[in-house]
Structure formats: structure tokens, C-alpha cells
């Protein structure tokens, strides 16, 4: 039985790619891991609104709900010592790359046990150990960073590739162009992964992009441009996998456009005055979790084991929230000048 | 008429757009969404997309477009949603907007207003909380203003729009709901004039933007202890009204300068140095400065609140100014 | 008799376009004017080295010699109230657009009678009256300016188009991308004219560009990309003419790549340690002045009238130098704060 | 051994590249051409293009690449050929390089050196002559240095390269041929230490970069009039060695701060304000500041020379400091 998608959505989303077959190199274990990660990210970011409303976090946060296939598909194709750079909508990237949800949640709570000791918050979570070079609050700014990491890999003879996640909005930044140009010219092991979710806050991409089909811009850098279904973790996996192989073989960067729809608000308490949020809901038909679940069941995975995974994800997030809420501490004033300069030098 | 800062900005822009069909807005989400802080609500509908332009996230590019448009007959207002990102447009602002008239021997006009919401205090961390006014003070060719009360915000924004020079207009991100009286008729407030908003004879407190509110708070509590502070709201930073400051200093002989931006390299240093130049003999005590601590703004409120000057710190500075 | 070009050059320069026919809409008068302008620019910029050596100018200057076909071809396709933006190598643009060589020379001398009253110098010559929005010392920075001028034209209902001259080096700047993207998206009347002379100071374009065929990058903005022979004033004229028509018809921008070779040094006293200047000289075979002269003679213009034009250009420049040298004055100290703010307000 | 500043920089970089294979250079024309000012000559040949990288004209991009490389194991030196264009990389420097370690709770390292030739005086006009050190002084997380003599240039550049923080290294464009003795052995000079380069008891002149040379000139002519100036070369601006200044001030009780950057919002204001804080009682006269005039640098030398501080102006400031 194929997964059902309405004609309306299929028409609006021509890059739809059915989830018929898992990529050959993904074991069932891998697939189950992916399913867990999809759920873990969803659970994690579904908590945000509640936390924000209850004043548990300090600033604001952006939910990755609906985008999970991209981070999970991409990071599944990476090794631990590969790098990623992330965005303001970064929890999914961090978790998919191996981040610890206790530490992400603690950071969102502004706790000293958080990844950034409470100094970064939702928009800046980093874990260099896991190759997570950090989220960035400045749209587009991490592009060059990613290229720098890829440059390091070459000079230091590491086999790492770097995946640079960014939104459609980020593709309008100058540094997007500068970065891809240099990476393309020097054939650096970096993958530019555009999460084209059609929106940048309240602005539709087609209103501000001369060429909204991002993958076509690859011609301008003489590199491959790939369009993929951003709601489909297998599709993203395949695209990133082949780009990573290319990169490791010294053939240079790839521009991957993972297309999807930002179904949720821009940030956790977005009133979406600029569009009708109700009209977005049909897009949940493409929910990567539902699609993957359908695929796994079709492929004889017992529903019960999937439910177990779902429950585990839920519990892990509850645990993370409980941890952040009750077992963690606010940073003390004496940490204020710590971490500014190397060796905590004070200037 | 009592309105919020948000309304004051919206009214100022709307009135100027009605008055002068060359006034045009550029910025991320200024149109359909009406601005992230809802300050440009309704304008797209009223003036159409050629005058209220939703831009891509291209700060350098759309600031530069504003500059080119200003040089060729329009009177653009560019919004940099958070002043932190004005870093992306520094070349355009500093090397082109500020210098074009001069480099070209006066042959080009630059009626450009750049609105830049600034300041911290709401847990948005290091890349969404900064205050860069001191940088622009260092750039000849620009004007810089940072009013806080609705009346001043409206009157000065209108002056900025009408001004034929590039003006950087800083509005505090936490001020949008701050309310106050504004005249009901069309009015402007001249750029470059400070305002004594509280009279006092013991110490002069000079400040701008959100810190004016805290300075007033500090002054009120100090008054209960019998210390009368004169509070000056600078409103404009470049040009800066030293006359008003020195007149006050002549009376109080003690001065405290307060701002939210981190102290090192901040506006307060410039003001203190200039006071030393112009009125050293009026000083009965070292001039005091209160500014943000010299760290990036941390995310968690417990730390953030230590970085941004508090009423308490202002009070301490006043005591210090009085104790010698 | 066709104009002779060596096989070596033809191989190295595949976009060579023979000057067989003048564009139909160019009268003989127009052509003679173009010939004059080519010579005027050449004479003007050939003086620079001498002036620099003799300490007549204050800073440095960049010669447009060899590039004349581009400015002259392009500006011939424009009207007085069209706009141009220029670069550090800008004298040619200014002169072709109608600039007065007495005033450019006076400016280079730093005289108060110069275009910028001695405050701008070689790199910043502007004449807004003639639609010359100014040269720019920051490579790439004028891109956005040009788009802004085009934006004005639309809002103010002017029929002007704007030509944005820039070098291959400028195409690597972020603002290049941002500007073309916005112009393309909003279909603004602007023409992006890349003078791809293969070099940016001492760096060959192919060493720093992933896609050195600049015109191909037009795909990234869904606009037409045109490659043209940058040594051929007719070819450039045609390309700009058609792009201008497109622009005026509301069909948006065009990216024109005028390819040529920077035969001369980067700046007037460049020692060219990074390449062999002798090896560049073969490129003078493509000299636009020689080619145009050959074409005109072939088309029965008496050589004598061409020599007259050449002489006139020479004399006009001698006159300009004489003017700048002997009839102009240094700015007086009281002008120092003038022109900084409107109405000479002093802050 | 007597060498030029140009040679000092070249030697410093070469020695550090030999010492540490992670040191890597990025910038326009740093390789094949050996730098517009010939400071990186020979390095491409010696170290290959992966360590000496000619970049496209993408200041934001290649600065960002330097930052990313610094965060992942390299120790990059980024050259911004003229400091005027650092405006293009402000976001990368201010929002990423300066803040990454702090925002990430100390979990990332940022051993990055940004070389930025600065200053005017050679007729290159408004976009090729600026001095922006004061901006960076306002940014917590950075270090800023601006030495002028070959020994200091070499020793401090080596320290900058070895430093695990982002360091902005300003070198004066007119200084490359300036010669001086340097030790022949491997040495470094610590960041953050000023140097008394002339002793005197009447007035303290504090300066850095090219203005140190002019301050010395002024001091020499003043000595003939019997006025003995103590001249301090700050060398480092952030951190800034107030101890050395105040020690001198304790002796002279009069101070003149001199820099080339335009005065308003410049380093001198910060130094004066800080002196008022720390040593007001040592001041027998108002602290004097000498800086560039508050205009863009004009092209023609006749005007440019009016903008940049002259020996004469420094002398006048010394007289002023002494006359009360
Ligand atoms: C330089 C900069 N400009 C503007 C913003 C404000 N902003 C935050 S997220 C965002 C939209 C980003 O859109 P996109 O890149 O498509 O990512 P998405 O939110 O869709 O995931 C904007 C405009 C910013 N953070 N940085
Ligand atoms: C932002 C910036 N970076 C570097 C420079 C130094 N610079 C001046 S001209 C030039 C080369 C420009 O090359 P291109 O754009 O191809 O123009 P061309 O000189 O070949 O005409 C460079 C790197 C500059 N002026 N501005
Ligand atoms: Mg988006
Ligand atoms: Mg070139």
C-alpha cells in the first residue's frame, strides 16, 4: 500500500519522492535509529512553545518540527568527525549529529549544565566534540565557517566533510555566494544543504529570490546541484551520501536543495499574521515521521516496536526537561567573564 | 494624545510617506508582516510594494539599494531589524553613505534614514542584543539619534527622514510598548538638541535611550535621600548637545554618563573626554561612567542582568560622584 | 581585407567577434564619435603614468587603456539621463558617459576645479548631471548602488536604465550576488556589465572563481546572460542596446560579460612581478582602436579624417593637462569641512 | 640587525609558519604577488598554496573561512589589504570571531590573526586611508595591537599568531620602509604592554603607530625649549597598559593622547575617560587629545595634511597641557 498524498499537495510539491525503498546501505538498525531521531527531534521541539509560554527559557526559539527528515537524513550519512554548521533553527541538526538532549534542553533553560553553560541559548548550541560547530543567529553567516572547516580538513589531512545547513533565506546573503565560490574553486569537502521551506519569517521565497529553484544556482559555481524531497529522510540521506563521497574523493562541493514547507510558525509564539496557519496544515500529509512509519510498517516492522521508539523519544525528552528544570543550576555570577578569552584571561 | 513608541514610529513614517511620495521603505518583513516589531504595520497596504519593500535577507545589498535610491531622488528608510546585523552593511554605510557627498565634492545628496532596533535585556544572547552607536559616532558624515520617549521618537524620526544626510536611528527593542504623550499636530524635533527631563542641583546624569528610564528611576529614589539629580536625555548622539550638558554641569559640578552599550570604547568615554576639554574647571569630582560590562551579552537572564547597567549601579555612580 | 589576428590569440580568446558590420542604428557620425572617445580615453589614461612619476597626482590611478571598447560601446547605447556606476578603473566610464576631461584631469591633479573639488581623486570621479553616480574604491560596492538607482527610476517613473560596470574581481563580492538577486526578482532596469579582463591585480580569475564564465551565472538569477567581445565596441554596443531595451520594457536586468585582457599593469606604476608584462603585448592585436580604425577605413572613411580625430583627442588631453596644471588651484583650507553634510552644516 | 617593518612582518610570519604547520594565510594577492605591500613575498613558494592562499575579493567570506579554520585546528592569518575594507567583514569578526568562544561556553578556540594595514597620508582618499581601531576596542572578545617599530612589530605579530584569541593587528601603510634594530634570536613581545620610549618629566605623550614617530619628533623639538616629554608607545590597544601610563602621569601630572584616527569616538577618548577614572588626582591640567579632524580623508594632499595630526599640533597640545 503506497503512502497517500493528496493531489493538491503533489501538485504543489513536484519534488515529492515516494519512500518506496530504503537506501541499500542503511541497515534496519540504521533505519530504526533514524526513526528514533525523527521522533526525538519532534518531541524536543514540540516542547518549546510550552516552555516559552511558561517562561522557562530566556529568549526565543525556533522549532524544527516538520524539518526532521533533513537533519536526520543528512547526519545519517556523516561520521562522528564530520562537521556540521547550523542555523537559528538548529536543534534538529544538533540532535541528529549526536547531541545530547539533556544538554540542549539545559542550554535552552539557560543552565550552566547546558552545552554552552547557559551563555548561548537556543540559537547557539554547539558541541565541537561531535563536530557541531555551532548554530548561528546571523542568517547566512555560518556559510564561510563551514568552508573554513572544510579547508582545515584538507590542510590537516583529515577525511572529514562539512555539511552547511542553511535556509532559503540564507541563500540571499552575500556570504552564501562568496563561500560557495571559494569552496567550488578550491574543491573543498563541503556540502551546502539548503533547507528551502519556502518562507523566511513572513516572506515567501518567491517574492525575494530571482531564482527560487536553489539547486539551479549550482551552475554559477560549476558544481553539482541536486533537488531533493526535504520531507523524505531517505532521499536526503542519498543526496548527502553521494555528495559526501564526492567531497571525500577531492571532487569538491555539492549544492543540495532539500525542499519542504515550513508548516509551523517561524518561532514558537509566531502569530503568523502574514499567512493563514490553518492552510498550512494540509502539508502535514508529508510529515516525515508518518511517512517513515508507514514505510517501516510496510516493510514488516511490527508497529509495536515503532511505538516503543516513539515512547522512548517522548520519555527521553521528558527526562531532558526534568533534568533541565530540576537537576540543573543557573550560572553563578563568577562565571560571567569566564570563556571570553582563552584561559579565562580577563581584559 | 498618549501613544506607544511603536505607534509613534508607525505614525511618523506614515505621515512622512503621505507628505513626500519619495519616502520609501526597505527591509526584511517590513511589508506583509508589518515588521518583526510591528512598527510598519499597515504601510504596505496603504502605499504599495514599490514604497514598502520586503527584501531578502541581504543587509548589505538592500542598504546599498537605499543609498543608490537616496542618491537618485528617493528618500529611503532602511530597516536593519536588529542592530547586530548592521555589521553586514558597514561598508555600505561607512564607505559609501557617509562619504559620498564629501568624496564627490558635494555633488550628491544622501537623504537616507537607517532604523536600527538595538539593546538587550530579553534573553536573545550575543548576536541579538548589541548597541553599536559608538561606532557610528566615529564616522564623519553620519548623524546618529537614539530617543526613547514617544514624543521624541516621533519628532526625531520625522526630522531624520526629512534630513538630507544619512541618519542612523536607534530604537530600543524593549521600548516599543513604552507610552507617552505626543502633540496631535504635525511637529518635528530638531536633531542635535538634548533635553533636561528632570531638574536637580547635585549631580548631572547624562544618558540616552532605555538608560534614561533607569536614570530617572535612580534619580527618584535618590531624591528620597535628599540627592537631587538633573537628568539629561541626549536624544541625539551626533551631533551631541554639549551646551546643555555643560550648562547643567556648571550648576552641579558632578556628572555621571550612562549607557547600555559596553563601557570600553562606548559613547560615555567620548562625552567624558569632551567634557574634560570643554569644562574641566566645572568638575568637582571625576566624571563617572556607567556602561554595560565588557562581555558579549550572555543568554541566561541571571547573567544578562549583570551585564546591563542597573538602577543600582547608576545610584552607586552618583554616590561616587558626590563622595569627593 | 579582414583585420588580422594571430591564431594564438584567437585560440586564447574564443569570444572574438570580427568587426565586420557596424550596428545598423549607428550612423557614421556616431561611429566617428565612438572613434574619438576611444582615442580620448586612451590618451587620457596614457598620461597617468607620466603624471604619477612626476608627482602630479596625489594618490594612485588605474589605466583603462585597452578597455575602451567597453565603456564606449556601452555608453553609446545610453541616453544622458541613464545612469552608470563605475569602479577604481573608472576614467573610461566617466569620459564615455559624457564627462569633461578638463574636470577629470583637474580632479586627478587634486584641484578644486576638478569634478570632486579635489576631494575624491582618480578613484571617485562622479558627475551626477551626466548620470555618472561615481566610481568606487571598494571593489563590488557600487553594485547595490546601481540597483538603487534603477529602483528610483521605477518609483519615479523615469525611463532611465542603469549600467553597473564592474570587474571580474567584483563578481566575487557578496553584494554582487545580493544586488543581482534583488534586481532580477523585482525586474529592475539595470544592466550588470562585467569587464572580465582575467585579472584582479595579481590574481588570475580562474584561480579564484569556481565559474569564471561569468555570463553563465545568469542562470542563478533567471536573467539573460550574454558573453561579448570586450575589445569590440560594436559588440558591446549591441549587447547593451538590447539589454537596455529589455530593461526599459520592464523585463528586468541582464548580465553582460565583456571579456578582454588587462594588457596594462593593474595601476600606473605596477611592476607586474606576478606575470610577464612582455607576454601580454600580443594582446594589443585586439586593440579596439586599431580594430575600429581598420573597420572605418575598410568602410571608406578617409584615413585623414581619422588622423584628425586622433589628433583632436591628443590635443584635448594636452589641453586638459595644461588646464589642470596651470589654470587650476589647490583647494583652500576653508573648504575642508565643506560638502560633508548638506548645506555645509558643520558637526 | 637592522630591518624594515616590511621585513619584520615577513620574518615574523615565516618563522611562525616554520614553527607551526597550522599557520595558514588568506588574503587578496598574498601569494603570487606577495602582497600589495610585498609583506608576504616568497611565502607561497616556500609553503605552497594550501598555506598561502590567494583569495578572491571576498573579504567577508575569506575572513569567515579563517574563523572556521581557526575553530577546527588551523591558526590562520587573514590579511585585509586596507583596513577600510574590514567593514565588509565586520559581521564575521564581531559576531562570530569575537563571540564564538563565549557564546559556546568556552568550547571552541579562535587562534586567528587579522592583519589590517591602516592609516592615510598618501593621497588615497576616503576609502583607502581610514583607521578603525576604536571600533574593535569596543568589542569584547578581541585583542587589538598597533605597534610601529620593527622590533615591536615582529615580536607582537608573533605573539598575535601564537595567541588563542582573535587579534586585530594594525600596521601603518606608511611604515613599511621604517627601519630599526631587531634581536636576531627568536623572541616575542607580550600583548598588552606599553613601552616608555622617551623619558621626560613635564608631560606624558601617549600614542601608537605612526603618531609615535610624530610624538617623538615633537618631543625632540620641545626638548630644545626645555620641555621634557615622556613618550609612551602603547603598542597594544586591547588590552591597554594603563599601569605604564599612570606611572608616568604620576610623575608628569600632564597628559596628551595622540592618534591618527579622527578624534570623535577615537581611542583617545577612551584613554582619557579611563585616566579620569583611575588617576584623576594626578591630573594638574585637563587631559589633552590630538586626533584626526572629523572629516573623511580628502584626496588632495593640501587638505589631507590638514586632517592628519602634525607635529605642530602635538606641540600645541603639549603647550596647552602645560599652560594651566
Ligand atoms: C542577518 C540576519 N538578518 C535577519 C535575521 C532575522 N531572521 C531570523 S531567522 C530569519 C528567516 C530565515 O529564513 P531561512 O533562512 O529561510 O530559515 P528558516 O527560518 O526558514 O528556517 C530572519 C530574517 C537574522 N537572524 N540575521
Ligand atoms: C573590497 C576591496 N578589496 C580589495 C581591493 C583592492 N583592489 C583594488 S582593485 C582590485 C582588483 C579588482 O579587480 P577587478 O574587479 O577584476 O577590476 P580590474 O582591476 O581588473 O579592472 C583589488 C583587489 C579593493 N579596492 N576593495
Ligand atoms: Mg526558510
Ligand atoms: Mg579584472
- pLDDT tens for the 347 residues of chain C, in order: 889 999 999 999 999 999 999 999 999 999 999 999 999 999 999 999 999 999 999 999 999 999 999 999 999 999 999 999 999 999 999 999 999 999 999 999 999 999 999 999 999 999 999 999 988 899 999 999 999 999 999 999 999 999 999 999 999 999 999 999 999 999 999 999 999 999 999 999 999 999 999 999 999 999 999 999 999 999 999 999 999 999 999 999 999 999 999 999 999 999 999 999 999 999 999 999 999 999 999 999 999 999 999 999 999 999 999 999 999 999 999 999 999 999 999 99
SS3 D107: coil
Is residue C328 assigned to a domain? Answer: no
Q: Please check whether residue C15 lies inside any domain of the structure.
A: no
Measured by CA distance, the residue closest to atom 13 of ligand 2 is: C200
Q: Which residues of chain C does A139 touch, with a Cβ-Cβ cutoff of 8 Å?
A: none
Mean pLDDT of the region D243-250: 98
Give residue limits of the domains in chain B. 2-181, 195-321
Task: Check if the beta carbon of residue D114 is closer than 8 Å to that of residue D166.
Answer: yes
pLDDT of A1 reads 80
Backbone angles phi, psi at D237, to 5 degrees: -105, -30
Instruction: Give the distance between the most distant pair of CA atoms in chain C.
Output: 66
At C315, phi and psi to the nearest 5? -65, -40
Report which protein residue has its CA nearest ligand 2's atom 21.
C167
CB contact under 8 A, C177 and A174: yes
| Chain A interface includes C222 (CB < 8 A) | yes
Residues of A in contact with D137 (CB under 8 A): none
| DSSP-derived secondary structure for A182-201 | HHHHHT-SEEEEEEE-SEET
Number of domains, chain A:
1
Query: Are D273 and B286 within 8 A, CB to CB?
Result: no
The tens digit of pLDDT for each residue in D201-244 reads 999 999 999 999 999 999 999 999 999 999 999 999 999 999 99
Residue A118 has pLDDT above 80, yes or no: yes
SS3 state of residue A341: coil
Please state, for a pLDDT cut of 70, what percent of chain D lies above it.
Answer: 100
Is D303 near chain B, with CB under 8 Å? no
Residues of B with active-site annotation: 59, 128
CA gap D308, D293 in Å, rounded: 7
Q: What is the average pLDDT score of chain D? A: 97
Inspect the interface and report whether the beta carbons of D64 and A119 lie closer than 8 Å: no
Residues with beta carbon < 5 A to ion ligand 4? C 167-169, 197, 200
User: CA triplet D53, C87, C278: central angle to 5 degrees?
Assistant: 60
pLDDT tens per residue, range B154-184: 999 999 999 999 999 999 999 999 999 999 9
Q: What positions of D carry a catalytic annotation?
A: 59, 128
> Is B56's CB within 8 Å of A200's CB?
yes
B128 burial class (0-12, 13-18, 19+ CB within 10 angstroms)? buried
Nearest chain D alpha carbon to C341: D295
Q: How far is the CA of C89 from the centre of ligand 2 (A)?
A: 9
Output the pLDDT for position C252: 98
Q: In what order do the strands lie in the sheet with B255-262?
A: B195-198, B229-233, B203-207, B255-262, B288-292
Q: How far is the C-alpha of D146 from the C-alpha of D266, rounded, in Å?
A: 14
Q: Is C201 in the pocket of ligand 2 (CB under 6 A)?
A: yes
pLDDT, residue D67, reads: 98
Of D210, D35, D214, nearest to D119 (Cα)? D210
Q: What per-residue confidence (pLDDT) applies to B323?
A: 86
Give the containing element (helix H, strand E) for A145: helix A142-155
Cell numbers that stand for C304 in this block: 585623414
pLDDT value at D324 more than 70: no
Whether D28 is in the pocket of ligand 2, judged by its Cβ within 6 Å, is: yes
Contacts of A19 (CB under 8 A, 6+ apart): A3, A232, A234, A235, A291, A292, A294, A295
User: What residues does B113 pair with on adjacent strands?
Assistant: B77, B167
Residues 50-69 of B with CB under 8 A from D: 60
Question: Do C123 and D127 count as a contact with CB atoms less than 8 A apart?
Answer: yes
Per-residue DSSP letters for A214-273?
GGGGGGGGTS-EEEEETT-HHHHHHHHHHHHHHHHTT---EEEEEE----S-SSTT---T
Euclidean distance between CA atoms C107 and D128, whole angstroms: 17
CATH architecture, range B195-321: 3-Layer(aba) Sandwich (3.40)
For A300: left if phi > 0, alpha if psi spans -120 to 50, otherwise beta; the answer is: left
**B173 vs B207, B258, C6, C140, D318, CA distance in Å?**
17, 18, 66, 33, 44
Q: From the CB of A200, is ligand 1 less than 6 Å away?
A: yes
Helix (H) or strand (E) holding D61: helix D59-71
Rounded CA-CA distance A252/A269 in Å is: 40
**Concatenated DSSP letters for A269-332?**
T---TTS-HHHHGGGGGG-HHHHHHHHHHHTT--HHHHHHHHHHHHHHHHHHHHIIIII--PPP
Q: Kindly report the average pLDDT of chain B as a whole number.
A: 97
- Counting ligand 1 atoms within 8 A of each CB, the residue from A85, A88, A258, A260 with the most, and so the one to mutate, is A88
The CA distance from C146 to A67, in Å, is 38
User: Is D298 in CB contact (< 8 Å) with chain B?
Assistant: yes
Q: Is some CB atom of chain D closer than 8 A to the CB atom of C333?
A: yes
Ligand 2 site, residue C90, Cβ cutoff 6 A = no
Rounded distance, CA D100 to CA D98, Å?
A: 6
pLDDT of residue A273: 95
A168 CA from centroid of ligand 1 (Å): 9
Instruction: For residue B129, give the chain D residue with the closest CA.
Output: D95
Containing D85, the helix (H) or strand (E) segment is none
In this structure, is residue C346 part of a structural domain? Answer: no
**D265-305 per-position pLDDT tens digit:** 999 999 999 999 999 999 999 999 999 999 999 999 999 99
| Rg of chain D over all Cα atoms, to the nearest angstrom | 19
CA distances (Å), C82 to each of A166, B15, C170, in order?
Answer: 38, 32, 22
Within a domain: residue C24? no
Q: Is A168 in the pocket of ligand 1 (CB under 6 A)?
A: yes
Q: Kindly state if the Cβ of B28 falls inside 6 Å of ligand 1.
A: yes
Which chain D positions have a beta carbon within 8 Å of C174's beta carbon?
58, 60-61, 88
Q: Is D239 exposed, middle or buried (0-12, 13-18, 19+ CB in 10 A)?
A: middle
**Maximum Cα–Cα distance across chain B:** 61
| Residue ID of nearest Cα to ligand 1 atom 8 | A139
Q: What is the pLDDT at residue B136? A: 98
Please tell me the residue having the least CA distance from ligand 2 atom 8. C139
- Of all residues in chain B, the one with the smallest CA distance to D293 is B140
Is the distance from CB of C342 to CB of B165 less than 8 angstroms? yes
Q: Which residues of C touch B60 (CB under 8 A)?
A: 144, 174-175, 178
CA B313 to mean position of chain CA atoms: 21
pLDDT of residue C289: 98
Which ligand has an atom closest to residue B96 CA?
A: 2
3-state helix/strand/coil string of C170-228 = HHHCHHHHHHHHHHHHCCCCEEEEEEECCEECCEEHHHHCCCCCHHHHHHHHCCCEEEE
User: DSSP class of residue D196?
Assistant: E
pLDDT tens-digit readout, C225-246: 999 999 999 999 999 999 999 9
The answer to whether A219 and A190 have CB atoms below 8 angstroms apart is no
- The three cell numbers of residue A263 are 508548516
| Structural domain for A57, as ranges | 32-263+273-323
Look up residue A212 and give its three cell numbers: 527560487
Residue with cell 553582460: C256
E-state strands within chain B: 2-4, 23-27, 52-54, 75-79, 113-118, 143-145, 167-172, 179-181, 195-198, 203-207, 229-233, 236-238, 255-262, 288-292
Counting ligands in written order, the one closest to the CA of D61 is 2
Chain C residues near residue B55 by CB distance under 8 angstroms: 182
pTM of the full structure: 0.98
Residues of chain C with C-beta less than 8 angstroms from the C-beta of B58: 178, 181-182
What pLDDT was estimated at residue B324?
57
- Among the partner-chain residues D51, D66, D101, the one whose CB lies closest to the CB of A339 is D101
pLDDT tens across B104-160, in order? Answer: 999 999 999 999 999 999 999 999 999 999 999 999 999 999 999 999 999 999 999
Nearest CA to ligand 1 atom 12: A200
| Secondary structure letter of residue B254 according to DSSP | -
CA distance, residue A214 to nearest chain C CA (Å): 8
Question: End-to-end distance of chain B based on CA atoms, in angstroms?
Answer: 44
User: How many whole angstroms separate alpha carbon B11 and alpha carbon A215?
Assistant: 42
Residue A114 falls within a domain, yes or no? yes
> Which residues of chain A from 239 to 298 reach within 8 Å of chain D, CB to CB?
none
Phi, psi for D290 (deg, rounded to 5): -125, 125
CB D271 within 8 Å of CB D233: no
Mean per-residue pLDDT, D173-183: 98
Low-confidence ranges of chain B (pLDDT < 50): none
Q: Residues of A320-344 as b/e, b for ≥16 C-beta within 10 angstroms?
A: bbebbeeebeebeeebbbbbbbeee
Neighbours of D174 (CB within 10 A): 17
Under 8 Å CB-to-CB from B208, ≥6 apart: which residues? B146, B147, B148, B233, B234, B235, B237, B259, B267
CA distance B160 to B154: 10
The subunits that touch chain C, with at least 3 C-beta pairs less than 8 Å apart, are: A, B, D
B2-181 in CATH: which number? 3.40.50.970
Q: Which residues surround ligand 3, an ion (CB under 5 A)?
A: A 167-169, 197, 199-200
Q: How far is CA D217 from the centre of its chain?
A: 20
CATH number of the domain bearing residue C167:
3.40.50.970
Distance CA B234, CA C49 (A): 52
Give which of D96, B126, D91 is closest to A121, Cα–Cα: B126
Distance of alpha carbon C82 from alpha carbon C158, whole angstroms: 9
A167: Cβ below 6 Å to ligand 1? yes
How far does chain D reach from its first CA to its final CA, in angstroms? 44
- Residue among D222, D136, D214, D226 nearest D175 (CA): D214
Question: Which helix (DSSP H) or strand (DSSP E) does residue D280 occupy?
Answer: none
Amino acid at each position: 500500500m503506497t503512502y497517500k498524498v493528496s493531489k493538491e499537495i503533489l501538485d504543489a510539491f513536484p519534488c515529492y519522492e515516494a519512500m518506496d525503498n530504503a537506501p541499500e546501505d542503511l541497515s534496519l538498525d540504521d533505519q530504526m535509529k533514524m526513526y528514533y531521531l525523527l521522533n526525538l527531534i519532534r518531541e524536543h521541539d514540540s516542547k518549546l512553545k510550552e516552555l516559552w509560554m511558561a517562561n522557562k527559557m530566556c529568549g526565543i526559539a525556533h522549532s524544527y518540527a516538520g524539518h526532521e527528515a533533513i537533519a536526520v537524513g543528512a547526519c545519517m550519512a556523516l561520521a562522528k568527525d564530520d562537521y556540521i554548521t547550523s542555523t537559528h533553527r538548529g536543534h534538529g541538526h544538533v540532535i541528529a549529529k549526536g547531541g545530547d538532549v539533556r544538554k540542549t534542553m539545559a542550554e535552552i533553560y539557560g543552565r550552566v549544565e547546558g552545552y554552552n553553560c547557559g551563555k548561548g541559548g537556543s540559537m547557539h548550541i554547539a558541541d565541537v566534540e561531535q563536530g557541531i560547530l555551532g548554530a548561528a543567529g546571523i542568517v547566512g553567516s555560518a556559510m564561510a565557517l563551514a568552508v573554513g572547516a572544510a579547508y582545515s580538513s584538507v590542510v590537516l589531512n583529515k577525511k572529514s566533510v562539512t555539511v552547511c545547513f542553511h535556509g532559503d533565506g540564507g541563500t540571499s546573503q552575500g556570504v552564501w555566494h562568496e563561500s560557495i565560490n571559494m569552496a567550488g574553486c578550491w574543491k573543498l569537502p563541503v556540502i551546502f544543504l539548503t533547507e528551502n521551506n519556502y518562507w523566511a519569517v513572513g516572506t515567501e521565497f518567491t517574492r525575494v529570490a530571482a531564482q527560487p529553484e536553489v539547486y539551479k544556482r549550482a551552475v554559477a559555481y560549476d558544481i553539482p546541484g541536486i533537488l531533493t524531497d526535504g520531507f523524505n529522510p531517505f532521499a536526503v540521506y542519498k543526496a548527502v551520501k553521494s555528495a559526501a563521497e564526492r567531497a571525500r574523493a577531492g571532487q569538491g562541493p555539492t549544492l543540495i536543495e532539500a525542499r519542504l514547507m515550513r508548516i509551523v510558525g517561524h518561532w514558537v509564539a509566531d502569530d503568523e499574521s502574514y499567512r493563514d496557519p490553518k492552510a498550512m496544515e494540509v502539508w502535514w500529509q508529508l510529515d516525515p515521521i508518518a511517512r517513515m512509519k508507514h514505510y517501516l510498517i510496510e516493510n514488516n516492522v511490527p508497529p509495536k516496536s515503532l511505538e516503543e521508539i516513539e515512547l522512548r523519544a517522548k520519555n527521553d525528552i521528558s527526562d531532558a526537561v526534568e533534568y533541565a528544570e530540576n537537576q540543573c543550576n543557573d550560572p553563578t555570577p563568577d562565571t560571567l567573564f569566564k570563556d571570553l578569552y582563552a584561559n579565562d584571561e580577563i581584559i | 494624545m498618549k501613544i506607544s513608541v511603536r505607534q509613534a514610529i508607525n505614525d511618523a513614517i506614515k505621515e512622512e510617506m503621505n507628505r513626500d511620495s519619495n519616502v520609501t521603505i526597505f527591509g526584511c518583513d517590513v511589508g506583509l508582516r508589518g515588521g518583526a516589531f510591528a512598527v510598519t504595520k499597515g504601510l504596505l497596504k496603504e502605499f504599495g510594494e514599490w514604497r514598502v519593500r520586503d527584501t531578502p535577507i541581504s543587509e548589505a545589498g538592500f542598504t546599498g539599494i537605499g543609498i543608490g535610491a537616496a542618491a537618485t531622488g528617493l528618500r529611503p528608510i532602511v530597516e536593519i531589524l536588529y542592530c547586530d546585523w548592521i555589521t553586514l552593511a558597514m561598508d555600505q554605510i561607512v564607505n559609501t553613505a557617509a562619504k559620498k557627498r564629501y568624496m564627490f565634492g558635494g555633488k550628491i545628496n544622501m537623504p537616507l534614514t537607517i532604523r536600527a532596533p538595538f539593546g538587550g535585556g530579553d534573553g536573545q544572547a550575543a548576536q541579538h542584543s548589541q548597541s553599536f552607536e559608538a561606532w557610528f559616532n566615529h564616522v564623519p558624515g553620519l548623524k546618529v539619534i537614539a530617543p526613547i520617549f514617544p514624543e521624541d521618537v516621533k519628532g526625531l524620526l520625522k526630522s531624520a527622514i526629512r534630513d538630507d544626510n544619512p541618519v542612523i536611528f536607534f530604537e530600543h527593542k524593549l521600548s516599543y510598548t513604552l507610552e507617552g504623550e505626543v502633540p496631535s499636530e504635525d511637529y518635528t524635533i530638531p536633531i542635535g538638541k538634548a533635553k533636561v527631563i528632570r531638574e536637580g542641583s547635585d549631580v548631572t546624569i547624562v544618558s540616552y535611550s532605555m538608560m534614561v528610564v533607569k536614570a530617572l528611576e535612580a534619580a527618584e529614589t535618590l531624591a528620597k535621600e535628599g540627592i537631587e539629580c538633573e537628568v539629561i536625555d541626549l536624544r541625539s548622539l551626533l551631533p551631541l548637545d554639549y551646551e546643555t550638558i555643560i550648562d547643567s554641569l556648571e550648576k552641579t559640578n558632578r556628572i555621571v554618563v550612562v549607557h547600555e552599550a559596553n563601557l570600553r570604547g562606548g559613547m560615555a568615554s567620548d562625552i567624558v573626554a569632551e567634557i574634560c576639554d570643554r569644562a574641566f574647571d566645572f568638575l568637582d569630582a571625576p566624571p563617572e561612567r556607567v556602561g554595560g560590562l565588557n562581555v558579549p551579552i550572555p543568554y541566561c537572564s541571571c547573567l544578562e542582568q549583570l551585564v546591563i547597567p542597573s538602577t543600582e549601579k547608576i545610584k552607586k555612580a552618583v554616590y561616587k560622584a558626590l563622595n569627593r
